[in-house]
Structure 1
Amino acid sequence: MILVLFRSRFSERADKEYDITEDRLARRVRELAGDDLVHIKNYTSDDGERLALVWWRNPETLERWRNDPEHQKAQQLGRERWYSFYELSVAEVIRTSSSEDASRYPGR
């Protein structure tokens, strides 16, 4: 399993277009990835920093998402307008332990 961690902080130029794009891309990623997308969670800290965690079953589907033209356009807008800071980390999950159904986590 692959885990993507995306930390960000909005710039003063972030606007309603961000929200519209985020909603559209959330639907698009689920369509593109299907069952290969395990979870998406978003958090915002008290100081305004945001964290998105996205679990993928395999790197191939993540690569398709990375190369998706609509996603790439949103990334460009993020760099140019929406974010004053961002950091993207991609990690391979070695082990997961959970009280939830183990079938959701292949490779355990």
Structure 2
Amino acid sequence: MTDVHFLQDPESITYSQGKEVKLRCSIQVTGELPEINWQRDGARYRADVNQVLVPVNDDEWLAISELSIPSIHRSDAGSYRCVVSVTGKEVLSKEAQLEIEGGSFAV
């Protein structure tokens, strides 16, 4: 049986344009090795992601995923979340709002 537990959800932040932003989530998974992706505003988001998977014991993993946006713009504002896929099911983190100083960009 697979069990997914978020140890750290991404946090909502406000940044200035042109700054680097990093969003992070940490997950503890029992069972199969997880696949971790990110969503922005409900759609899969492809960007620079660093991931570390550490075996805790024979069937338990600690996974850390960090989404990095090197130079944010107003169009990067939105709702972000971490998506863990394992044994055919998806588990979503809480949403984090990325706002750009000077007003957010709404779609």
Category of TM-score, reference length = shorter chain: 0.3 to 0.5
Higher strand share: 2
TM-score normalized with structure 1 length: 0.37
TM score, norm. by length of structure 2: 0.38
Larger RCO, structures 1/2 (Cα 8 Å, 6+ apart): 1
